[in-house]
Amino acid sequence: MAKKVLVVEDNELNLKLFCDLLQAHRFETEPVRDGREALDRARGYAPDLIVMDIQLPQVSGIELIELIKRDPVLASTPIMAVTAYAAKGDEQRIRAAGAEAYISKPVTVGQFMGAIRDLLGPDAITDPTPDAA
Ligand code: MN
Protein backbone atom coordinates (compact mmCIF):
# COMPACT_ATOMS: atom_id res chain seq x y z
CA MET A 1 0.00 0.00 0.00
CA ALA A 2 1.28 3.45 -0.88
CA LYS A 3 2.64 5.51 1.98
CA LYS A 4 0.69 8.69 2.65
CA VAL A 5 2.29 12.11 2.97
CA LEU A 6 0.53 15.24 4.21
CA VAL A 7 2.21 18.28 2.64
CA VAL A 8 1.63 21.59 4.45
CA GLU A 9 2.86 24.40 2.19
CA ASP A 10 1.31 27.77 1.30
CA ASN A 11 3.47 28.36 -1.78
CA GLU A 12 1.66 26.83 -4.74
CA LEU A 13 4.82 26.10 -6.76
CA ASN A 14 6.56 24.36 -3.86
CA LEU A 15 3.39 22.47 -3.01
CA LYS A 16 3.17 21.17 -6.59
CA LEU A 17 6.88 20.36 -6.69
CA PHE A 18 6.75 18.34 -3.45
CA CYS A 19 3.54 16.52 -4.38
CA ASP A 20 4.73 15.74 -7.95
CA LEU A 21 8.02 14.43 -6.64
CA LEU A 22 6.34 12.25 -4.03
CA GLN A 23 3.78 10.94 -6.48
CA ALA A 24 6.55 10.08 -8.96
CA HIS A 25 7.92 7.85 -6.20
CA ARG A 26 4.45 6.30 -5.73
CA PHE A 27 3.54 8.11 -2.55
CA GLU A 28 -0.01 9.23 -1.98
CA THR A 29 -0.14 12.95 -1.17
CA GLU A 30 -2.57 15.26 0.58
CA PRO A 31 -1.92 18.98 0.06
CA VAL A 32 -2.73 21.48 2.82
CA ARG A 33 -2.42 25.14 1.82
CA ASP A 34 -3.76 26.70 5.02
CA GLY A 35 -1.76 25.84 8.13
CA ARG A 36 -4.82 26.43 10.32
CA GLU A 37 -6.30 23.26 8.82
CA ALA A 38 -3.16 21.17 9.27
CA LEU A 39 -3.99 19.47 12.58
CA ASP A 40 -7.53 18.45 11.63
CA ARG A 41 -6.44 17.34 8.19
CA ALA A 42 -3.62 15.27 9.68
CA ARG A 43 -6.05 13.60 12.08
CA GLY A 44 -8.39 12.76 9.23
CA TYR A 45 -5.74 11.59 6.77
CA ALA A 46 -3.50 9.60 9.17
CA PRO A 47 -0.31 10.20 7.16
CA ASP A 48 2.90 8.16 7.35
CA LEU A 49 4.89 11.38 7.07
CA ILE A 50 4.24 15.11 7.31
CA VAL A 51 6.16 17.64 5.23
CA MET A 52 5.85 20.98 7.05
CA ASP A 53 6.69 24.39 5.65
CA ILE A 54 7.82 26.62 8.52
CA GLN A 55 6.89 29.99 7.00
CA LEU A 56 3.10 30.02 6.80
CA PRO A 57 0.90 33.14 6.72
CA GLN A 58 -1.45 32.61 9.68
CA VAL A 59 0.39 30.16 11.89
CA SER A 60 3.96 29.18 12.58
CA GLY A 61 5.07 25.81 11.29
CA ILE A 62 7.03 25.40 14.51
CA GLU A 63 3.82 25.76 16.55
CA LEU A 64 2.11 23.24 14.30
CA ILE A 65 4.94 20.77 14.85
CA GLU A 66 4.55 21.23 18.62
CA LEU A 67 0.79 20.65 18.39
CA ILE A 68 1.24 17.53 16.25
CA LYS A 69 3.82 16.13 18.65
CA ARG A 70 1.40 16.69 21.57
CA ASP A 71 -1.41 14.84 19.81
CA PRO A 72 -1.62 11.28 21.16
CA VAL A 73 -2.39 9.77 17.75
CA LEU A 74 -0.14 11.91 15.56
CA ALA A 75 2.86 12.15 17.89
CA SER A 76 4.68 9.22 16.33
CA THR A 77 4.27 10.51 12.76
CA PRO A 78 7.65 11.71 11.46
CA ILE A 79 7.81 15.36 10.42
CA MET A 80 10.16 16.82 7.85
CA ALA A 81 10.39 20.59 8.20
CA VAL A 82 11.15 22.75 5.17
CA THR A 83 12.28 26.30 5.70
CA ALA A 84 13.29 29.22 3.49
CA TYR A 85 15.31 31.14 6.04
CA ALA A 86 17.88 29.14 7.94
CA ALA A 87 18.83 31.76 10.50
CA LYS A 88 21.15 30.84 13.33
CA GLY A 89 19.31 28.67 15.83
CA ASP A 90 16.48 27.83 13.44
CA GLU A 91 17.40 24.18 13.06
CA GLN A 92 17.68 23.86 16.84
CA ARG A 93 14.23 25.44 17.36
CA ILE A 94 12.68 23.23 14.71
CA ARG A 95 14.22 20.09 16.18
CA ALA A 96 13.26 21.15 19.72
CA ALA A 97 9.65 21.44 18.52
CA GLY A 98 9.87 17.77 17.56
CA ALA A 99 10.67 17.62 13.83
CA GLU A 100 12.67 14.51 12.92
CA ALA A 101 14.23 16.08 9.82
CA TYR A 102 14.95 19.51 8.49
CA ILE A 103 15.87 20.79 5.03
CA SER A 104 16.23 24.33 3.75
CA LYS A 105 14.98 25.83 0.50
CA PRO A 106 15.86 25.81 -2.30
CA VAL A 107 15.28 22.09 -2.03
CA THR A 108 17.04 19.71 -4.40
CA VAL A 109 15.40 16.47 -5.47
CA GLY A 110 18.23 14.42 -4.00
CA GLN A 111 18.07 16.21 -0.68
CA PHE A 112 14.29 15.94 -0.46
CA MET A 113 14.07 12.25 -1.33
CA GLY A 114 17.19 11.49 0.71
CA ALA A 115 15.63 12.97 3.83
CA ILE A 116 12.45 10.95 3.25
CA ARG A 117 14.48 7.78 2.76
CA ASP A 118 16.24 8.46 6.07
CA LEU A 119 12.89 8.89 7.83
CA LEU A 120 10.87 6.05 6.30
CA GLY A 121 13.60 3.61 5.30
CA PRO A 122 14.77 2.58 1.81
CA ASP A 123 11.86 0.17 1.30
CA ALA A 124 9.40 3.07 1.37
CA ILE A 125 10.93 4.63 -1.75
CA THR A 126 9.89 3.30 -5.14
CA ASP A 127 11.94 4.21 -8.20
CA PRO A 128 10.40 7.16 -10.00
CA THR A 129 8.34 6.74 -13.11
CA PRO A 130 10.58 7.24 -16.19
CA ASP A 131 9.04 10.57 -17.24
CA ALA A 132 9.24 12.18 -13.81
CA ALA A 133 12.01 13.89 -11.89
MN1 MN B 1 5.64 29.30 3.15
Give 67-112 pLDDT, tens digit per residue. Answer: 999 999 999 999 999 998 777 788 899 999 999 999 998 899 999 9
CB contact at 8 A, 49 and 120: yes
Mean per-residue pLDDT, 57-65: 96
Give 60's DSSP letter. Answer: B
60: closest CA among 97, 30, 89? 97
Distance 61 CA to ligand 1 centre (A): 9
Distance 70 CA to ligand 1 centre (A): 23
CB contact at 8 A, 36 and 3: no
Whether the pLDDT of residue 51 is over 80: the answer is: yes
Cis peptide leading into 130, omega within 30 of 0? no
pLDDT of residue 91: 86
pLDDT of residue 28: 98
Distance 42 CA to ligand 1 centre (A): 18
pLDDT of residue 128: 76
Cis peptide leading into 106, omega within 30 of 0? yes
Distance 85 CA to ligand 1 centre (A): 10
Distance 28 CA to ligand 1 centre (A): 21
